[in-house]
Structure 1
Amino acid sequence: MRHLLRSPAGIAGTTLVALSVLLAVVGPPIWGAQAERIDPAAILQGASAAHPLGTDSLGRDILARVLVAGRLSLTLALLATLAGAVVGTVLGALPSVLPRRAARLVTGTVNALVAFPGLLLAMFTAVVTGLGARGAVLGIGAAIAPGFARLTQTLAASVAGADYVSAARMLGVPRRRVVAVHVLPNIAEPLILNLTQALGGALLGLAGMSFLGLGVQPPSFDWGRLLFDGFSRIYATPVVALGPAAAVALAGIGFNLLGDCLARAAARTDARPGPAVPLPPEADIEPLGPPDPGAVLEVRDLTVRFPGGVTPVRGLSLTLAPGEITGLVGESGSGKSLTAAAIGGLVPYPGEVSAARLRLCGADLGELGDRERRRLLGTSLAMVFQDPMAALNPALRIGGQLAEVAVVHQGASRAEAQARAVDRLGHVRIPEPAARARQHPHELSGGMRQRAVIAMGLMGTPRLIVADEPTTALDVTVQRHILGLLHEVTAETGAATLFISHDIAVVAELCHRVVVMYAGRVVEELPVDRLPSAAHPYTRALVASLPDLETDRSLPLAGIPGRQPSPAEVGPGCAFADRCPLARDRCAERPPLMPYGPEGRGHRVACWEAS
């Protein structure tokens, strides 16, 4: 609702739909008797004070009939939409679970129906099933079904290859259960959103069927039937057709606007930090204190939540200073990438981000308007993702993608932006930058693509660089070059860098400070030179799992027994207790992040048994 009321289209669509529904509810009780009253003395009158839209051939008030017809019009449209949606959804989901030959047959049927004109399909169905409201509903439902089937088929194809669907098939789960339990629930949201837009189309379609004489028949009447009755007088008294025409148009526009705005609201990424999410009573909440004026990034009590109680990031606090490279390490699933996404405003829907404080370059992101926030993130934050092929649009040339940053955020002309793009590509030591700028991403090697992503971040003047496992997919030689380049860029620009990795050896080589995450929380924060004497058992286990030249190759590689709990399984105590050799009864209570060591030196640890 918040997103709907932000835009003029959302406000207009919500208002029109609300008025249409209200009219359908109160219209017949209030104006029903007036709409049916026959007045021989007022036959075929034009607009007057007594009859603003005139009267029909029996002297009945047309305005009252328009107000009453809203209930039947909306009811028939809803029935037609539901019928088309149910049939189309079933047809579209079947190919994902049927054998190949049957799936091809269903797909071919859907393709043929989609290619057939919808109005002709609706008219043919209405004639076959019989004239009247039932035939019109079945006809419009038949016209809607192919579109739903195509959408469902496309969405289901992305789910059908998932491991959980394959596992269900292997276990012999019945096909109807695979569709109902494993496929449809995961594609329900876009189908529901499309339902609203289809309702507007069904309303217009049913009005058209009644106008052609194939829909509602006398003595019943809907907006289309009223339009048909008034059309013969449109040249003499055009006002008699304006009422039903305006009702059909406004209601149809309202449903289409509402559906479009709902789809955009669901698809948009909204990571604007809200108020701090209340944590469990055992959680340690640090005193907020005044903002750090020298920090590039200051995060306090950052929490990321998804529906169902899934909380991948829990009360994280982090401060980055200019010129500092901070490593964020932990196993896969510990919340590292979602932390970076929350900072950059990239947490996908339906995730919710909250923070007691989230400041970038001295500005509170939660207090900025959308335009100011986008401008700050677009010019002061550089994101380097793990997969550069996914970060770059394969359909666009490298130079054009880099130039877009300068055009959108800096107001540069296309020529100036293109020249800066070539300069930035050369700056990250890509050979022949002018030629590379004219190439597409697939024409570059993995290392050059990653350099191009770094160059994209340098199109502005970044104050913060977030590198999310940027060397994972690269070979060792290219990895070293990328790490060296990140170090040089940080030193040259004075930016703060957040380097995310699961490889603690890489972090030890590149970073000044290390933040260790486990199950969504920070368990240790320490200078990189203190990694060999880490205090938390988890950090020690990560360091011990690194082989070196002195490792005994006759023994199995060191590892950490057990597994990290999923975000929905994290309990109130220490999340590492089940895997920790030092666990005691006290670990049932979660330890706060406490200063460690006599000399301090920015070392903090969350462990009762740290020594």
Structure 2
Amino acid sequence: MERETGRRRPAWVAVVRTPAGAAAGVLLALLVVLAVLAPVLWSDNAEAVNSTAISQSASAGHPLGTDALGRDILYRVLVATRLSLGLALSATLIGVVLGTLLGAAPSVLPRRIGRLLTGAVNIAVAVPGLLLALFVAVVVGVGTMGAVLAIGFAIAPAFARLVHTMSASVTGRDFVAAARVAGVGRVRLLIRHVLPNIAEPLVVNATVAAGTALLSFAGLSFLGIGVQAPSYDWGRLLGEGLDRIYLNPAAALAPGVAVVIAGLAFNLFGEVAAAQLGMRATSHRVPMPGRVTAGKSIGEATPAAAAAPEQPVLLVRNLRVAFPAESGWTTPVRGVSFTVGAGEAVGVVGESGSGKSLTALAVSRLIEAPGEVTADRLEFTGVPLLESPERGLRALLGTSLAMVFQDPATSFNPTRRIGRQLAEVSEQHQGLSRRQAHQRAVDRLRTVRVPAPGRRARQYPHEFSGGMRQRAMIAAGMMGDPRLIVADEPTTALDVTVQRQVLKQLHRVRVETGAAILLISHDIAVVAQTCDRVLVMYAGRVVEDLPADELLNSARHPYTRALLAATPDLDADRDQSLAVIPGRPPQPDDMPAGCAFAARCAFADDRCRAEEPVLVDTGGAGHVACWHPVAVSAGTQAPGERTPAHTGPEEV
């Protein structure tokens, strides 16, 4: 039974609970009150000219003295709060908006234009901010508007660099990939999924930038290229008071102290917020649970998959995925070929780095530049994925292909409610209204056995348990009419009980909708129990393809036999050590000639080390890529292999 997590306390509450944060918050609140009330209460006193009290020092009637026209300096400093803060915040707003646009633009622009824009931003970041502000102020013109634009443009490059860096870190998350599969466009993806997830640190940095803008504005006004008479801000008052600093030090110190206090309040609040929100963002990873025991049934029996039609749901021929490297190209997926028929469940197993997940991402069109995907044929429901334009594929992939990712904690956008995220597919591709799409989302949550689906649809991902999030991911895939569900390690981060529930749910969806399933897993026992066919991958290639019910008794590749031997079994002799596969898989950028498994295989000979085998028919329902396949019928075993105590995998 899954336990509902409690609501978390708003993150910004932690900021004001600290002594430094509370002090900075109080100072900012006082500044805002002064900015609002001071011009209303004391504007007349600040503007009143008194020819009998010109340039007086501090006195009981004028605590900070008077200026050259006899105007009270204290009132002028208080009234100047509104203009000083207003101009600083206006410049910050310009810098933040412009910086956000510049930083986010490379994500939506063509790659070459995006690179040019990023390079221009990097050059601008190298120029000192105040120097850039002075340059812009001179070009735009002396005065309030010129100073606002100058400081705004000076803030923008650094903010653009920040937005670009943080956006890049978010775009690699699973929920962004899921949105791409759903057919969400780049601009909408940026606005709805990327920017909301970097909003908090951007607000923190904007707060610090406001303090910097305040100091910069005071500096420009002090130099005479900012606020012009008859208007006045703290910088202009500081410049006027500096001429008489030896006669009346308070005239210069008062606006200077005001600038320092206001700048300190903004910067201190931003620094405390950054520290507190950074600590709250740190989360503990869920420990890796134990695996489902091989040979134990985890649900009702799966009916035999329907015979594959002439037109398979997924057709892959000679798929290759390559990435640029210093010495050329690295190809972690090398010539993978397989088909997935309607209603068929195909499992893909192998060690980490074997290319399983990259294969799943490639068939889902989720490999982005600089990665390159090539294939002789890559077709989904008869549509060539590599030749078709991205815009034309959005509706097809968004409604007919569903992705269930490995980590349920990153599978959803944490800033949006579950129901809204599920409803997006129906709004985008099925033309449903907001209300209709929400109702469909609730219905899909009910279908995957999420309790109280109406209430759950209004909750955020952090309020779901891990198993419930994974079921919600399956529900998201069912918002359309999926022909294929790609499940990439859907049970890795879950305990055994929740694994069982998720696998049963995938089976139920398959039976009720007729969708095919491509299940990626490290656990060969899980694949044997849940799939009709098994693909074993090693070093970027499929080395064996055979029916799941023949896996234990008919697997012929030494690597497959070694994986089976390393699978824990309740009937195994506890006095014997668990079998392991010696050595390590080769690196994609250092692939040996011949068979990639030869260095770890006891049957390898000179031919294995010189010639790479290809998949050939074993004479039955399977295929194997090996020069010396294991003669299972003769009882030959791979090194370290135990004879399985059970006769075959049980189906889900």
Query: What interval of TM-score do these two structures reach, taking the shorter chain for normalisation?
Result: 0.5 to 0.7
Is 1:398–2:398 an aligned residue pair? Answer: no
> Paired residue for 2:549?
529
Give yes or no for contact 2:378–2:384 (8 Å, CA) kept in 1: yes
Is 1:301–2:318 an aligned residue pair? Answer: yes
Is the alpha carbon distance of 1:327 and 1:460 closer, same or farther for their aligned partners in structure 2, counting shifts above 3 Å? same
Residue number among 604, 616, 624 corresponding to 1:605 in the alignment: 624
3-state DSSP of counterpart to 2:358: helix
Give runs of aligned pairs for residues 471-510 of structure 1, distance below 5 A: 471-510=491-530
Is the alpha carbon distance of 1:359 and 1:292 closer, same or farther for their aligned partners in structure 2, counting shifts above 3 Å? farther
Aligned-pair distance for 1:388?
A: 2.2
Is 1:449–2:469 an aligned residue pair? Answer: yes
Give yes or no for contact 2:586–2:592 (8 Å, CA) kept in 1: no
Give yes or no for contact 1:577–1:583 (8 Å, CA) kept in 2: yes
3-state DSSP of counterpart to 1:425: helix
Aligned-pair distance for 1:154?
A: 8.2
RMSD of the TM alignment (CA)?
Answer: 3.5
In structure 2, give the amino acid aligned to 1:545. Answer: A
Residue number among 580, 596, 601 corresponding to 2:618 in the alignment: 596
Give yes or no for contact 1:84–1:145 (8 Å, CA) kept in 2: no
Structure of greater relative contact order (alpha carbons < 8 Å, 6+ residues apart): 2
3-state DSSP of counterpart to 1:485: helix
Is the alpha carbon distance of 1:545 and 1:82 closer, same or farther for their aligned partners in structure 2, counting shifts above 3 Å? closer
Mapped partners of 2:167, 2:505: distance in 1: 40
Is the alpha carbon distance of 1:84 and 1:540 closer, same or farther for their aligned partners in structure 2, counting shifts above 3 Å? same
Give yes or no for contact 2:423–2:441 (8 Å, CA) kept in 1: yes
- Deviation track 1:148-207 (CA, whole Å, cap 9, x = no partner) reads 498279849999xxxxxxxxxxxxxxxxxxxxxxxxxxxxxxxxxxxxxxxxxxxxxxxx
3-state DSSP of counterpart to 1:307: strand
In structure 1, give the amino acid aligned to 2:589. Answer: A
Mapped partners of 1:497, 1:464: distance in 2: 6
Mapped partners of 1:513, 1:158: distance in 2: 37
Mapped partners of 1:446, 1:383: distance in 2: 17
Mapped partners of 1:81, 1:320: distance in 2: 46
Is 1:147–2:157 an aligned residue pair? Answer: yes
Aligned-pair distance for 1:348?
A: 3.0
3-state DSSP of counterpart to 2:604: coil
Give yes or no for contact 2:121–2:157 (8 Å, CA) kept in 1: no
Mapped partners of 2:113, 2:121: distance in 1: 18
Identity among equivalent positions (%) equals 55
- Deviation track 1:508-531 (CA, whole Å, cap 9, x = no partner) reads 111111000001000000011211
- Deviation track 1:179-238 (CA, whole Å, cap 9, x = no partner) reads xxxxxxxxxxxxxxxxxxxxxxxxxxxxxxxxxxx9xxxxxxxxxxxxxxxxxxxxxxxx
> Paired residue for 1:319?
339
Is 1:568–2:589 an aligned residue pair? Answer: yes
Give runs of aligned pairs for residues 55-134 of structure 1, distance below 5 A: 84-86=124-126, 113=129, 118-120=132-134
Is the alpha carbon distance of 1:406 and 1:146 closer, same or farther for their aligned partners in structure 2, counting shifts above 3 Å? closer
In structure 2, give the amino acid aligned to 1:593. Answer: L
Q: Which runs of 5+ in 1 are unaligned?
A: 1-7, 18-77, 89-112, 127-139, 160-213, 215-290
- Deviation track 1:528-569 (CA, whole Å, cap 9, x = no partner) reads 121113100000000000121222323322111111111111
Aligned-pair distance for 1:412?
A: 0.8
* Aligned pairs, number: 371
3-state DSSP of counterpart to 1:586: helix
Give runs of aligned pairs for residues 199-348 of structure 1, distance below 5 A: 293-308=310-325, 309-348=329-368
Mapped partners of 1:480, 1:575: distance in 2: 34
- Deviation track 1:48-103 (CA, whole Å, cap 9, x = no partner) reads xxxxxxxxxxxxxxxxxxxxxxxxxxxxxx9x988645467xxxxxxxxxxxxxxx
In structure 2, give the amino acid aligned to 1:482. Answer: V
Per the normalisation by structure 1, the TM-score is: 0.56
Mapped partners of 2:361, 2:618: distance in 1: 30
> Paired residue for 2:559?
538
Give yes or no for contact 1:428–1:455 (8 Å, CA) kept in 2: yes
Per the normalisation by structure 2, the TM-score is: 0.52
Residue number among 409, 427, 448 corresponding to 2:429 in the alignment: 409
Aligned-pair distance for 1:143?
A: 7.3
Mapped partners of 1:156, 1:11: distance in 2: 18
Q: Which runs of 4+ in 1 moved over 6 A?
A: 8-14, 80-83, 140-143, 156-159
Mapped partners of 1:464, 1:157: distance in 2: 30
- Deviation track 1:354-391 (CA, whole Å, cap 9, x = no partner) reads 11111111222234333321111011101100112212
Q: Which runs of 5+ in 2 are unaligned?
A: 1-107, 141-149, 170-224, 226-307, 632-652
